[in-house]
C-alpha cells in the first residue's frame, strides 16, 4: 500500500530505473515497517525548473495508509536525499518531498478499498 513516486529531469536508462525503483521500495518499506511486497515505486521523467533554474532536480511523493509522522517523515527525507544524491547526482536543495497519509477508504487494491 505505500507508494513512492519520483519525478526527475535526470536521464537514466531502464536498467538504472529498475535498480533505483528497487532501492526506493526497500527504503520506504524499512522506514515504514511494512513489507516491501506492498510497496509500489513509480519513476517518471519530466521537465523541472526549480527557483526558475534548470538543472538536476526531483519531486518525490510518499503516500501510505498509516505509518507517516514527523519522525518517520524526517528519517525518510534524509534517506531519500542521500539516495538521490548518490545515484542521480541531485543536490538535496534541488529535491522536494511530500508526504500523504491516506485513509483506507481512499485507497483501493484488487478491486476494493482497504476499509
Q: Which residues are catalytic?
A: 2
3-state secondary structure of 88: helix
3-state secondary structure of 71: helix
Residue 74's region, left for phi above 0, alpha for psi from -120 to 50, else beta, is alpha
Amino acid at each position: 500500500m505505500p507508494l513512492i513516486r519520483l519525478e526527475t529531469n535526470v536521464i537514466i536508462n531502464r536498467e538504472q530505473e529498475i535498480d533505483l525503483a528497487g532501492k526506493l521500495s526497500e527504503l520506504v518499506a524499512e522506514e515504514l515497517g511494512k513489507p516491501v511486497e506492498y510497496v509500489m515505486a513509480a519513476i517518471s521523467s519530466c521537465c523541472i525548473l526549480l527557483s526558475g533554474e534548470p538543472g538536476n532536480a526531483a519531486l518525490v511523493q510518499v503516500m501510505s495508509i498509516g505509518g507517516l509522522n514527523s519522525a518517520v517523515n524526517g528519517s525518510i527525507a534524509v534517506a531519500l536525499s542521500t539516495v538521490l544524491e548518490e545515484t542521480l547526482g541531485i543536490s538535496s536543495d534541488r529535491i522536494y518531498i511530500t508526504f500523504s497519509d491516506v485513509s483506507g477508504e481512499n485507497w483501493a487494491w484488487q478491486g476494493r478499498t482497504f476499509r
